[in-house]
Amino acid sequence: MKTWLREHRLALHEALGRLASQSVGFALTVLVIGIAAALPLGLRLLTGAVDVLDRGPVATAQLTVFATVDAAPPVVQALGERLGRHPAAAGVRFVSRDQALAALHRDAGLAQLMEDLGSNPLPDAWIVTARGGDAAGLETLRDEVSGWAGVDQVLLDADRARTLRALAGGLRQTARLLGALLGVALVAVCFSTVRLQVLTQREEIEVAKLIGATDAFIRRPYLYFGTLQGLVSGLVAFGVVAGGSESLRHALAPAELGAVAVLDALAPDLASLWLAVGVGGVLGWLGAWLSVSEHLRRTSPGG
Amino acid sequence: MAHDTALISLSGVARHYPGGVEALRGVSLQVARGDLVVVSGPSGAGKTTLLRLMAAIERPTAGSVLVNGQNVAALRPRAIPWLRRNFGLVFQDHKLLSDRSLFHNVALPLRIAGFEPREAARRVRAALDKVGLLHRERAMPAALSGGEQQRACIARAIVHRPAIVLADEPTANLDMAYASDIVSLLGAFHGVGSTLVIATHDVAAFTPLGPRQVYLCAGLVGPQMQS
Ligand SMILES: Nc1ncnc2c1ncn2[C@@H]1O[C@H](COP(=O)(O)OP(=O)(O)OP(=O)(O)O)[C@@H](O)[C@H]1O
Ligand SMILES: [Mg+2]
């Protein structure tokens, strides 16, 4: 056990030595892989955020009913009551045009625009929560309500939910595909960087074999090197995503995305860190293993 | 000499290379534990090939090579490194690692065998001292003279105290004084029980050790002489 530990310590030491002797090449490689790998990792986070949006309150079976802008208050009131009485409506929340305007005013960028407009261009609206909430029922309700006098437009939030779900699905698939491609790329890059090392150390490998080194002994420092390269690439990817998500969160904060949960979902979590570093390490190891094994197979003496 | 007591036993060993080269053409040779064998013969006779077969660096085209009773050709590839650790090899072309210091070169067999670093360092220095290179332990091989490289190679071959030393032209690049130093060093190593097989053009240098002489010519063993 003690010997085993020492062997590994020495191999790691050797790998670090090689790393130090070609630190620029190592840094560049790790940067390239890391930045590339940040893409699927970032997409993964984005997918999570879209999932949260999808699961959030905006995605419940809701209709937004807009009155015409010029609808008189009695008409508006009648419409509200009629909506409230409708058997398919479980709840109706009135958002007056003044409330809507006030909400827009809170957004600094739009306030000036509103003032320039002079009058309030917004209609009164109701947010109707549908009973049951299956898509077909909602659509029937929408078609019915859009026909009422004084109703300008009815928006079905389920459309949005469906879009979100499709978006999340698409993102997830893209993330997986990119992740797989980058995994292959990482193995290939480690394969070739380790191959370069193996070729410069060919003499050493040959002599070590001649005087009794096992394949495992020869492979060990290269495996450490490959693993380190993968680990650090994963760290770089995580760093890039963390930085990117931080700035994205800043950009999104004032907008009314509503749910804090969405912003939280955009923050890179520990799982992403482990995923990036773990997958990076394993793939780096694999690339190195394949590289050295291929060399050993080609040069195996005794022919 | 009885077949079963031989440490190394070659029977009917042939080694052909692509292109119709017949480096060995049916060599039978027994090396007993504690033997000191000097293999001589003209250039191209097959001396190096013979040593390489003994260390399982090459496989015979025909015949069998037994080391410690094990048929080398039948060994699993995984077993070969363990077999090689019984040997100390002095290569005709030294095979020192050009990017490692003398110390690290000599330490390599100990590294491979998993020696504790402090014990390894002690042994490396002892071996370097024996070949008169202790003061050069930090030097890179390129900074050593041909003879010094030769001695470094011998230090590396004996540092792990192998049971068998296979030395290919160990005195080739040495002047008389150092050659006789190396001869007595190898003699001392033989004296503590190691088995030595030495391939050389310079049989006379080793006669003081009273070796068994094997004459190799064109891949065949000539009349074996006992001096
Ligand atoms: N890898 C090889 N491929 C083809 N031919 C080879 C190979 N190795 C050795 N030979 C040939 O085998 C023959 C014996 O070579 P070997 O090196 O064993 O001779 P040697 O007795 O050690 O010679 P020297 O005294 O010059 O070192 C030579 O003709 C050589 O050219
Ligand atoms: Mg030779």
Q: pLDDT tens for residues B59-102? A: 999 999 999 988 988 888 889 999 999 999 999 898 999 999 99
Q: Rounded CA gap, A53 and B60, in Å?
A: 72
What per-residue confidence (pLDDT) applies to A135? 62
Using a CB–CB cutoff of 8 Å, tell me whether A192 touches chain B: no
Tell me the average pLDDT across A214-232: 93
pLDDT at B3: 47
B160-177 average pLDDT score? 88
Which has more pLDDT, B71 or A129?
B71
Return the sign of the alpha-carbon dihedral for residues B36, B42, B44, B45.
negative
Report pLDDT for B166: 96
pLDDT of residue A89: 81
Nearest to B112 among A3, A6, A213 (CB): A213
Q: pTM of the full predicted structure?
A: 0.76
CB contact under 8 A, A211 and B84: yes
Question: How do residues A53-78 score in pLDDT, each as one tens digit?
Answer: 666 554 456 788 888 888 888 888 88
Whole-complex ipTM: 0.89
Q: Residues of chain A with pLDDT > 70: what percent?
A: 86
Query: Residue A240 phi/psi, 5° resolution?
Result: -60, -45
Strand partners, B13: B27
Name which of B225, B202, B199 is nearest B39 in CA terms: B199
What mean pLDDT value characterizes chain A? Answer: 83
Question: Who has greater pLDDT, B175 or B22?
Answer: B22
Can you give the pLDDT at residue B63? 93
Residue B194 φ/ψ, nearest 5 degrees: -75, 155
For B13-51, letters b (16+ CB in 10 Å) and e give bbbeeeeeeebbbebebbbeeebbbbbbbeeebbbbbbb
Ligand 1 atom with the shortest distance to the CA of B24: 14
Count of C-beta atoms within a 10 Å radius of residue B178: 18
* A302 contacts B56? CB cut-off 8 A: yes
Q: What is the rounded CA–CA span in Å between residue A181 and residue A185?
A: 6
- Provide the H-helix boundaries in B132-218: 146-158, 176-191, 203-206
pLDDT at B2 over 80: no
Res. A209 pLDDT band, cuts 50 70 90: very high
How far apart are alpha carbons B131 and B188 in whole angstroms?
12
Most B CBs within 10 A among A207, A215, A219, hence the mutation to make, goes to A207
Residue range A245-285, pLDDT digits in tens = 888 777 776 555 555 666 677 777 888 889 899 999 999 99
Residue A214 and residue B77: Cβ atoms within 8 Å?
no
Ligand 1 atom 8 nearest Cα: B49
pLDDT for A111 beyond 70: no
Q: What is the DSSP string of A46-86?
A: HHHHHHHHHHSGGGSSEEEEEEPTT--HHHHHHHHHHHHH-
Residue pair B165/B87 in contact (Cβ under 8 Å)? The answer is yes
Report the SS3 class of residue A45.
helix
